[in-house]
């Protein structure tokens, strides 16, 4: 699992690993970090 960033550019939605996103901060819709909520065990 890796953190991902969901973003929108010109009415299109994209998703990519957060560590690789270097686009416009205003284009970010949400960031999903699977480690932010603790262990599922």
User: For the chain, which residues make up each domain, given as ranges?
Assistant: 1-41
What pLDDT, on the 0 to 100 scale, is given for residue 41?
A: 53
Per-residue model confidence (pLDDT) at position 1: 87
Q: CB of 35 within 8 A of CB of 19? A: no
Q: Which pLDDT value is given to residue 26?
A: 96
What is the pLDDT, as a whole number, of residue 10?
A: 94
pTM of the complete model: 0.78
pLDDT block averages, 10 residues each, the chain of length 41: 95 97 96 82 53
Can you count the helices (H) and strands (E) in the chain?
0, 3
């Amino acid at each position: 699992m890796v953190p991902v960033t969901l973003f929108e550019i010109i009415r299109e939605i994209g998703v990519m690993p957060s560590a690789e996103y270097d686009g416009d901060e205003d284009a970010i819709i949400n960031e999903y970090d699977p480690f932010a909520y603790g262990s599922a065990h």
